[in-house]
Chain A
């Protein structure tokens, strides 16, 4: 079933899926922290929109609730929290230097292709119109990992981690039309708690090594430098 046989709403789901993976790419290229958090908020917003559209297409009222929850937690609450910590840690003027940005971008494109090939047999099992987007959600997961691997700043790692969670949520919505409400509530609060814990960790890392550069955590220091 090609794109042309689908209704405009099903097309819109796939279109938003493409935009979600686009925000992941933009996050990989973003050096500053505030715009990075802003991109993360945009991804959350797109995710909420997609969920609402899927709910509309399939007439699943409980998905509206999870769309609203995604909007509140991932597009508003967590970005606001991250913003506040960035200001409190006084790192909002820092510009992170990217290591080999061109290679990271190439790796990112390769990951998208890889996820497409991996997901191809899984797509055969699904009958939903949005099944083509499963590859995209898997790609968002892998791109989030790439963001964590290629950066050194702890806040960026957290954004990468959250965007992995976004990818998983997206996969659940597009492949199986959403998880049960209980599971979704649990995951949402887990994410929120994780975000709070990360905040606590930021301040701990900062007070112990006087920096948020996680590369400095590679070495063990027996004595104070």
Chain B
């Protein structure tokens, strides 16, 4: 029964991911005085891409064809780990935060391999940039995760959320720093402004788009979908770790309705905050990424330090 609910919940997560991406795009268009596309536009794009016949270059090896599936499946597994609207699920209990970071790393590894596979200049460039960002973002993310793990004395997401719910509202400096660090990492990892621009194919600045430039048809659809899932994953992670209030702790209809309503409300707010920051800031030069991610690392590190110094006795 529990496994069934968690599978249904993960499926719902995956189905809602394009809607969240559409919401972010919708708000961003309004902020920039453009007429927004309908909220369901990402679904239409995905449906169109799934119908189209994919073209594959002659030089492609099996990695090129396998990578989209690996990327998508790791994103789905990651979505299964993160509690969405229900706190206690068997999928959330078998794996912890470090596995989550590992899933992200595995998907990214195959995507960069696919970028290198064809031997095109853009693919290689995008892959090298992606690895640079990843090597800087991963320590910052792990440090933020460890801050949480040290406070809650567990790396398991369900138990950590339980712990936050039990202790109630406590003003923790470490959590504020870890939240800020995780937000910056999320921006870098999901390829949003100021690190990468998801809306452009301008050659000199591309990171994610450069890697997937050769993909078409259902392969491209899978990668795009995985990317939307990843964006929502960061949103859910931030909302549920730091502000878990409202998440369903039992399977009664009332708790479930409250859980879904609260997570959708939190995501809607995050989906407004993200486009605002994207509208306010310009894209950075590639050589300034390390300053941006160094700052994220510093925030996470300060979170850890302030936990050790100020919060424990």
Q: Taking chain A's interface residues, is the majority helix, strand, or loop, or is none over half, making it mixed?
A: helix
B313 touches A2 (CB 8 A): yes
A105 touches B313 (CB 8 A): no
Taking the closest CB of chain B, its distance from the CB of A114, in whole angstroms, is 11
A2 touches B312 (CB 8 A): yes
A132 touches B298 (CB 8 A): no
Q: Does A4 contact B (CB under 8 A)?
A: yes
Q: Which residue of B lies closest to A113 (CB)?
A: B305
Q: Does B171 contact A (CB under 8 A)?
A: yes
Task: Name B145-175 residues within 8 Å CB distance of A.
Answer: 167, 170-174
A18 touches B173 (CB 8 A): yes
Task: Name A6-37 residues within 8 Å CB distance of B.
Answer: 8, 11-12, 14-15, 17-19, 21-22, 25, 29
Q: A15-B176, A18-B302, A22-B302 are in contact. Are A136 and B309 (CB under 8 A)?
A: yes
Q: Does B308 contact A (CB under 8 A)?
A: yes
Q: Taking chain B's interface residues, is the majority helix, strand, or loop, or is none over half, making it mixed?
A: helix
A105 touches B298 (CB 8 A): yes
B313 touches A22 (CB 8 A): no
B310 touches A17 (CB 8 A): yes
Q: A113-B305, A116-B309 are in contact. Are A15 and B298 (CB under 8 A)?
A: no
B298 touches A3 (CB 8 A): no
A105 touches B294 (CB 8 A): yes
- Give complex CA distance A25, B173 in Å: 15
Taking the closest CB of chain B, its distance from the CB of A222, in whole angstroms, is 43
Taking the closest CB of chain B, its distance from the CB of A161, in whole angstroms, is 23
- Give complex CA distance A112, B309 in Å: 9
- Give complex CA distance A65, B308 in Å: 32
Using an 8 Å CB-CB cutoff, how does the interface string of A129-149 with B read, 1 for contact, 0 for none?
A: 000110110000000000000
Q: Does B279 contact A (CB under 8 A)?
A: no
A3 touches B311 (CB 8 A): yes
> How many residues of A sit at the interface, in one of the four size bands?
20 to 34
Q: Does B103 contact A (CB under 8 A)?
A: no
- Give complex CA distance A4, B310 in Å: 12
What residues on B are CB-neighbors of A216 within 8 Å? none
Taking the closest CB of chain B, its distance from the CB of A14, in whole angstroms, is 5
B170 touches A3 (CB 8 A): yes
- Give complex CA distance A19, B171 in Å: 12
Q: Does B236 contact A (CB under 8 A)?
A: no
Q: Does B122 contact A (CB under 8 A)?
A: no
- Give complex CA distance A19, B174 in Å: 10
Q: A3-B170, A4-B170 are in contact. Are A21 and B294 (CB under 8 A)?
A: no
Picked from A2, A15, A113, A136, the residue with its CB within 8 Å of the CB of B171 is A15
Q: Which residue of A lies closest to B151 (CB)?
A: A3
A18 touches B294 (CB 8 A): no
Taking the closest CB of chain B, its distance from the CB of A1, in whole angstroms, is 6
Q: Which residue of B lies closest to A18 (CB)?
A: B173
Q: Does A176 contact B (CB under 8 A)?
A: no
B-side interface residues toward A, CB under 8 Å?
A: 167, 170-174, 176-177, 294-295, 298, 301-302, 305-306, 308-313
20 contacts between A and B (CB under 8 A): A3-B310, A3-B311, A8-B171, A11-B172, A15-B172, A15-B173, A18-B173, A18-B174, A18-B306, A18-B310, A19-B173, A22-B302, A25-B298, A102-B294, A105-B294, A112-B305, A112-B309, A116-B308, A135-B309, A136-B309
Given contacts A3-B311, A18-B177, A135-B309, 4 further A-B contacts (CB under 8 A): A2-B313, A8-B171, A18-B174, A102-B294
